[in-house]
Amino acid sequence: AMEKSLLEAKQEAEAANLSKSKFLAAVSHDLLQPLNAARLFTSALEEKQLSSEIQQLVTSASRSLNDVESLLRTLVDISKLDAGAVQPDKARFCLADLLNNLGSEYQQVAASKGLTLSWVTTQAWVETDQHLLARILRNFLANGLRYTPAGGRLLLGCRRQGASLLIQVWDTGLGIPENRLDDIFDEFQRVQVEPANGKDQGLGLGLAIVDKMARMLGHPIKVASRLGRGSMFSVQVPLAEGVERAQPSN
């Protein structure tokens, strides 16, 4: 009887946790709508000829809205993952476009923060969910940019390892103390309270999301870091069998 009630308690706790995740997913998703309405107004204002004082206020308002949006998207992401509402959709594709797109997109963000980003590309074919992989890499790149002081460098690279490909994001940033390398993947765990660049808007959920996505895909994630020197985050994706021989990686 004792064991049964423990089991029941566990099931109840799991059910409560699931409804919490579903609630959070619904609320954060619903909040995006009025937010987007507000953004329509700020972008309309940005196109008007306004005094520089008002222009500055509009720009600040629109930046804050961007911050709120990215926080809400993070909450939507994590709660959907917890609610089991994300299903990986694996397919074979060539990595070249994905790496080139990420590289050129983040190169611009990097330049605006006084950082340089370079990337290598490959014709290798992999088998994974392209959108989830892109989200993992975006998290790595965004963190690299946040935790690297101006003047630093980032590199998006890849390296073949047996039947898989390691996609790596290197930075010359703040680094992470060795005893924190595991727990930064847990929810709400943060090492630096102030990032190297700008205001701090992190929730400490980015790597928890990465970890959940990578587990779902079955792709190992690794981190290596030296305090004050920099960090390397990687995700290991399987090469698409057969195709890789026809299209060898660089």
Residues 213-232 that bind ligand ADP (CB under 6 A): 231
Q: Do the beta carbons of residue 78 and residue 216 sit within 8 Å? A: no
Nearer to ligand ADP, 202 or 238 (CB): 202
Structure tokens at 49: 């000829």
Helix and strand totals (H; E) in the chain: 6, 7
Nearer to ligand ADP, 162 or 188 (CB): 188
The nearest distance, CB 235 to ligand ADP, in angstroms, is 14
Nearer to ligand ADP, 106 or 147 (CB): 147
The nearest distance, CB 105 to ligand ADP, in angstroms, is 18
Three-class DSSP category at 1: coil
- To the nearest 10°, report the CA torsion of 105, 42, 64, 203: -60
Which one of 76, 78, 81, 184 is in contact with ligand ADP (CB under 6 A)? 184
Which one of 190, 224, 243, 247 is in contact with ligand ADP (CB under 6 A)? 190
Three-class DSSP category at 207: helix
Place of tokens 């790149």: 141
Distance CA 25, CA 75 (A): 7
Interface with ligand ADP: number of residues (CB under 6 A)? 21
Nearer to ligand ADP, 103 or 175 (CB): 175
Given the rule CB under 6 A, which of 42-50, 82-90, 97-105, 188-196 is the region that contacts ligand ADP? 188-196
CA–CA distance from 140 to each of 124, 154, 206, 225, 249 (Å)? 21, 10, 9, 13, 22
- Is residue 206 within the footprint of ligand ADP (CB under 6 A)? yes
- Is residue 39 within the footprint of ligand ADP (CB under 6 A)? no
CA–CA distance from 13 to each of 8, 16, 19, 139, 174 (Å)? 9, 5, 10, 30, 39
- The terminus-to-terminus CA distance of the chain in angstroms comes to 62
Site mask for ligand ADP (CB under 6 A), range 127-146, x = bound: ----------------xx--
The nearest distance, CB 56 to ligand ADP, in angstroms, is 27
- Is residue 152 within the footprint of ligand ADP (CB under 6 A)? no
Nearer to ligand ADP, 58 or 169 (CB): 169
When CB distances to ligand ADP are compared, the closest residue is 202
Which one of 98, 174, 213, 239 is in contact with ligand ADP (CB under 6 A)? 174
Total residues belonging to the chain: 250
Q: Identity (one letter) of the amino acid at 150?
A: A
Q: Which residues bind ligand ADP (CB under 6 A)?
A: 143-144, 147, 171, 173-176, 184, 189-192, 202-208, 231
